Chains A and B, each alone.
Chain A
Amino acid sequence: MMILNILLDSLMMFVIAYLTGFLYYGLYRNITARFQKRYGPPVWQSFFDSIKFFTKEESTSHGWMFYLGPIIMMSGAIMTLLSIPFFNSGESYKGVSEYGNFFVVLYLLVLGPLGNALGVGTGGNPFGVMGVTRGLSRLLALELPFYIAVIAIMSLSESADIATISNSQTTLNAVAYPLLFIAALFSFIGMMGQAPFDVVGAPVEVYSGPASEFSGKFLALLMSQGAIFTFAKLVLMVHLFLGGADGFVELLAKTFGLFLFVIAFGSIYGRFKTPQSIDFLLKVPTLIAVFGLILATWNLQ
């Protein structure tokens, strides 16, 4: 019975994240279009594109590991989604989040991309591997300020459980510890693949990064996981700093607000070079995070 509950729960979470993710992506294309003084595509265009890709007649594969790459990435994205509860309380929309903790989620966030990196490597396309290398190099710099910020948050709420962290915020963490929030936001912009840290796919610069060798239904799967993964990351950030949510309206409002900020930031800045982005992330946000951590734990004692 419990397993059945979890299954139903997970299915609902999947559907919601899938649709919301694509909706957000459609809105993202529209909003950036307005920034550039043009009209974007219809809101559901990306969704229809992914469906179209699924039904393409042919897609080139490079053997079984290449075939499994996008599947691992999709599984990683769904697993991340299910490890983060949607709401602060209540019995539903929890997935398997009670069986894991924040450390698990931190690793799950990179599990999918790493699994796909294996597929990219098998394809043997140098441009794909170039994207992976850029991604991994950026990852280490991206994670440092984020780790410092979330370690401080975990230490302050004395738990690594996501629901407990979001419930323990009497004043929002973003307000109470602004420095930590700012530092984590820098990393978050990178995690969402937005400028100035969008060195992985780097459109127009590298051929097209990790996705370059994937076509047809492989690409469709990668697009779909992107939608789910985006939503999962937004929910995580809302839980950590914005006090979580108690209902769908609050959840959507908070995630969309955060999303809007991230894409607005992304559309007004240019792109760093890979070493520049690493250098920047290791300097400015890391310093902010360290200060934030010292200030926050100072209060504690």
Chain B
Amino acid sequence: MDLSLFGLGAIVLALKATHLANFFALLIAFSSVMVMFISRNYKLPKSFYALFLLLNASLFLIVYAADYLLFFIGWEVMSISTYFLLSFTLSKEALHKYIIFAMASALSMFVAILLLYSGTHSFLYENAAQSFAALDAFRAVVFVLLLLFAIFIKLGVIGFHYWLVDAYEEAHNIFTSYLSAVLSKMGVYALIVLITQVLVSLTFELSYTLAIIGVLTSIIATFKAIQEDSIKRLLAYSSIAQLGYIVTVLAVADGMAGALYHSLIHTAVKLLLFINIAGIVLITGREKFSELGGLIYKTPQSFVLLLIGIITLAGMPPLGGFASKFMIYSSLMDAKYLLILAAVMFSSASAFLYIYKLIYGIYLGHPTNKKLESVKEVPLSFLLPQYILAFVLVLLGAYPALVVPYFNKILLELHLKEMAFSDYATLISSFGEYNGLVIISAFGAIFVTVLFVFVNVHSKKKEAKDRFDIAYCAEEPNEATHLHYGFSMGKELRRVAFISLIYKNSVKPFYDSLAKQTLNVSEVLKKIYTGNLISNFNIGVIFAIILLWWSVK
């Protein structure tokens, strides 16, 4: 685009439909269609849709921009339109948190971009590596720190996640899924652009730092998720943890394939889970595990769909989640980041706890509150997008290499090592291969055989009379007995020294003290900048003199 018409001849801006941009654009478009399925169940003001479209436009601008200025404009519009979308439901405090963090992110990104511009006086990605090389060491470090700061806020990396959990919890149910599925991916996209276009190859220190930050994020967020009672907060932490994996894998040399694959899976899974939760909240009006329970036989379809979602989230073999986990593990093995890999797998195993809590708290056990018994299945408009997403996940489970040719185009374009595959069912890494189709059909065959034999074993099945018909230490439970045990799952972890460290610490005191310091500083400033016209004029004159002196010098 030529801006010489506007007197900005020196600045060249460009849009470019790269394969990478297309991939993220596809995620955006697909997710917004899925989200719109459920919108008809809510009475939303027209401005919501207008803002949603504006948000989408800004997201497309972000991914299709081929220079940092357009990228920044998209980023800024995204932050602002998200603010207005959140303002429909968020409390004042959560909204303030969001906007302060979003502005900090945008501001530091802007400074970083200007720093980069000072290199070769170009905003284009294609000149970015050159510009970066032209920076002196100090500026280069500042640039990387500022840009990472901006990206980390968007990703919600631990320490910068303070705004995220509240925003996810209080956002409208339609919008939470979008926040998690799409908006967080913009952080991933920005990180990919930074790594591939500007830095080109990560130094050892930066790579290790990023990997450690990523893995700490996933471990801490996983444990934070375990103790949450609110469904949406749990999923918010889960989202942070999943993005932690992506950051970790992006830090290693051949991690791009795993990062892209995990982005795809995470988008699909989080859409599925949040839409499922939105349906449950719609029919029950409750958002806490302690108030729910036992919905399995009221809403069997939702249960099965959530089950598919959590199997994928856990990364279990028969479904798509395993493919991305396998890619992540393989690239970490290749890079010989062995302890990091162990930590990633540890976090992944710890995630089983909150994943079980998610399905148990809502669908299993016996509800604490009997009013839930009149609940019926969620509307079709909720089930339909979930069926589509579940189909995608099962398909990727059987044919994990189905998306590989497409990813290879992206990798080729970025001059990275391509993924190997022999057929659509087999994914190959340097450490081994696995055939999704054989695994899923073998498991299916075993399951059907066992089921068939078991059904035909000579024995009558007696259905339990009611929810009190259980083996209960030879006693009879009654109305007053608490049967919904699992919502307090993970309490004993607080008694483990290592893990209680995570629970006892929070970023809240830090940000509180930061806010206090800021207030103190502004008190001091108020003494100088009183708002009095005369003193304002005096300050202006002094400032002008200093400026003049400095420019002459």
Q: Give residues in A with beta carbon < 8 Å to B.
A: 54-63, 65, 67-68, 71-72, 74-75, 78-79, 82, 96, 99-104, 106-108, 110-111, 114, 117-118, 121-127, 129-130, 132-134, 136-137, 139-141, 143-144, 147-148, 151-152, 154-155, 158-161, 207, 212-213, 215-217, 221, 274-275, 278-279, 282, 290, 293, 297
Contact = CB atoms under 8 A, between A and B. Distances in A.
A274 B83 CA distance: 44
B302 to A, nearest CB: 13
A96 B360 contact: no
A56 B458 CA distance: 8
A50 B326 CA distance: 38
B187 to A, nearest CB: 27
Q: Which of B296, B297, B307 has the most A CB atoms < 10 Å from its CB?
A: B296
B162 interface: no
Contacts of B546: none
Given A136-B352, A275-B493, A100 B435 contact: yes
19 contacts: A59-B462, A60-B462, A72-B447, A74-B450, A78-B446, A96-B439, A99-B438, A100-B438, A111-B316, A114-B314, A114-B316, A117-B360, A121-B356, A124-B364, A124-B470, A136-B353, A160-B333, A279-B496, A279-B497
Contacts of B483: 124, 126
Contacts of B359: 118, 121
A286 B294 CA distance: 38
Contacts of A160: 330, 333, 429, 431-432
A108 B317 contact: yes
B442 interface: yes
Interface stretch (B29-37, B51-59, B334-342): B334-342
A154 B431 contact: yes
B464 A62 contact: yes
A117 B358 CA distance: 13
B364 A122 contact: yes
B365 interface: yes
Contacts of A110: 349, 352
Nearest to B315: A107
3 closest residue pairs by CB, A with B = A121-B364, A101-B432, A160-B432
Contacts, number: 223
Interface stretch (B151-159, B249-257, B484-492): B484-492
Nearest to B499: A278
B472 interface: yes
Given A100-B434, A154-B333, A278-B499, 16 more contacts: A58-B460, A58-B462, A60-B464, A62-B464, A65-B364, A82-B446, A99-B442, A101-B433, A111-B316, A122-B364, A126-B485, A143-B345, A148-B339, A160-B333, A161-B432, A275-B495
Contacts of B467: 124
Contacts of B353: 133, 136-137, 140
B329 interface: yes
A132 B325 CA distance: 24
B431 A67 contact: no
A61 B439 contact: no
Contacts of B360: 117, 121, 129
A96 B240 CA distance: 36
* Chain A contact surface mostly: helix
B457 interface: yes
Nearest to A199: B492
Contacts of A57: 459-460
B447 A75 contact: yes
Nearest to B477: A126
A155 B485 contact: no
Contacts of A63: 296-297, 463
A127 B475 CA distance: 13
Contacts of B322: 103-104, 107
B454 A155 contact: no
Given A59-B462, A75-B447, A140 B352 contact: yes
A129 B486 contact: yes
B443 interface: yes
A61 B365 CA distance: 14
A208 B482 CA distance: 18
B26 interface: no
B43 interface: no
Report, as a range, how many residues of chain B touch the other chain.
35 or more
Contacts of A212: 471
B88 interface: no
Given A104-B434, A152-B338, A140 B350 contact: yes
B48 interface: no
A100 to B, nearest CB: 5
A100 B317 CA distance: 10
A215 B459 CA distance: 11
B473 interface: yes
Contact of A213 (B435, B471, B482, B497): B471
Given A82-B442, A104-B434, A155 B316 contact: no
B412 interface: no
B2 interface: no
B365 A151 contact: no
B514 interface: no
A124 B484 CA distance: 7
A196 to B, nearest CB: 15
Contacts of B429: 160
Nearest to A297: B338
B438 A75 contact: no
B511 interface: no
A61 B443 contact: no
Contacts of A152: 338
B185 interface: no
Given A127-B473, A160-B432, A297-B338, A96 B438 contact: yes
B470 A213 contact: yes
A122 B438 CA distance: 30
Contacts of A72: 447
A68 B342 CA distance: 33
Nearest to B489: A133
A133 B450 contact: no
A134 B325 CA distance: 25
B366 interface: yes
A100 B496 contact: no
A152 to B, nearest CB: 6
Contact of A58 (B314, B356, B459): B459
Nearest to B307: A118
A127 B342 CA distance: 32
B518 to A, nearest CB: 39
B461 interface: yes
Given A124-B365, A143-B349, A147-B345, A137 B492 contact: yes
Contact of B364 (A101, A107, A118): A118
Nearest to B486: A129
Contacts of B294: 124
